């Protein structure tokens, strides 16, 4: 049977990893998952939800027997592997480049429309 303190330690470690890698705030794993939202793939949210549910079950002595430790171990391994592969600085740089690219594209479209209107009016 899984020790409650061990489970809480694992949950806190996952919450910390989510917070540092995805730059998401929150006091508990549940809050950080809610704030992470679609930054995590569906399978990762599902794996993290197993830890949330295990925490609820572990609070009750009889329900704690329902926790599947092997599934938790697999979920934790997959989640850790995915989160450690994320580089927060690269994500931030990529987001800035996407923003700049979107702005440049919109400016080019506006310039093209402006030139088309000038040509249509015979001013160019």
Percent with pLDDT over 90 in the chain: 85
Same domain, 124 and 64: no
User: Which residue range forms the structural domain that includes residue 81?
Assistant: 1-86
Same domain, 18 and 64: yes
Same domain, 70 and 124: no
Same domain, 99 and 74: no
Return the H-helix or E-strand segment holding 92.
helix 88-121
Average pLDDT of the segment spanning 17-32: 93
Global pTM? 0.79
Query: pLDDT per residue over 75-91, tens digit each?
Result: 999 999 999 999 999 99
Same domain, 78 and 92: no
Average pLDDT of the segment spanning 61-85: 93
**pLDDT of 2 higher than 90:** no
In this structure, the dihedral spanned by the alpha carbons of residues 32, 35, 37 and 41, taken in order and rounded to 10 degrees, is -30
* Largest interatomic CA distance in the chain: 83
d(CA 64, CA 57): 5
Same domain, 81 and 104: no
Same domain, 73 and 96: no
d(CA 13, CA 73): 13
In 1-124, DSSP assigns E strands to none
Average pLDDT of the segment spanning 62-75: 92
């Amino acid at each position: 049977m899984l020790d409650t303190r061990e489970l809480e330690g694992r949950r806190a470690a996952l919450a910390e990893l989510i917070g540092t890698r995805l730059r998401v705030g929150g006091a508990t794993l549940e809050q950080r998952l809610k704030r992470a939202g679609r930054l995590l793939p569906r399978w990762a949210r599902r794996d993290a939800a197993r830890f949330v549910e295990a925490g609820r079950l572990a609070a009750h002595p009889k329900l704690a027997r329902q926790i599947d430790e092997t599934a938790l171990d697999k979920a934790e391994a997959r989640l850790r592997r995915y989160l450690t592969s994320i580089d927060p600085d690269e994500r931030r740089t990529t987001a800035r480049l996407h923003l700049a690219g979107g702005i440049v594209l919109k400016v080019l479209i506006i310039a093209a429309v402006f030139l088309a209107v000038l040509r249509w009016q015979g001013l160019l």
